[in-house]
Amino acid sequence: MAAIKQVIPCEPGWEAVYVRDDAIYDSPVKSITAPVIGWALVDDEEGNSSIQPLFNYSGAITTSSDFGDRYLGVTRAADYAAQLMDVWEGSAVGYMDDFGEPGAEFAEGGEGEEGGGEETSQ
């Protein structure tokens, strides 16, 4: 388990970019941002140190390592919109090419479609 050694507050305006939970190839926008609230100095199990953004994800504070490959990077808020189609959407499609569509179960009807009704035998 990684250990946070130090937290440094972040100036406003930084955004963490990641692949949306409901992203599929047909989505008009496959990436989304969350506000960065600070930077964490993290030591992993092998003693390697890295600096990771701490960002607000659905009301909880998380690090980029919690998102694994779905985490795409950090940018200034204004730059995200300017680079959306050129940089971030291409990165999100690259993620889906390698790991699949995170929102595929939502696109196919999700949990409600399977086993939603009773089977009758005739």
| Alpha-carbon gap, residue 57 to 34, rounded angstroms | 6
| Alpha-carbon gap, residue 92 to 82, rounded angstroms | 16
Residue 23 lies inside a defined structural domain of this protein = yes
Residue 98 lies inside a defined structural domain of this protein = yes
**What's the mean pLDDT when you consider all of the chain?**
86
When divided into structural domains, the chain yields a total of 1
Provide the pLDDT confidence category of residue 117 given band limits of 50, 70 and 90: very low
User: Which residues contact residue 119 at a Cβ distance below 8 angstroms, ignoring those fewer than 6 apart?
Assistant: none
Provide the pLDDT confidence category of residue 88 given band limits of 50, 70 and 90: very high
Residue 114 lies inside a defined structural domain of this protein = no
Residue 121 lies inside a defined structural domain of this protein = no
Rounded to two decimals, the pTM is 0.79
Residue 33 lies inside a defined structural domain of this protein = yes
Residue 14 lies inside a defined structural domain of this protein = yes
Show the domain range for 19: 3-109
> What's the pLDDT at 104?
86
Residue 20 lies inside a defined structural domain of this protein = yes
Residue 118 lies inside a defined structural domain of this protein = no
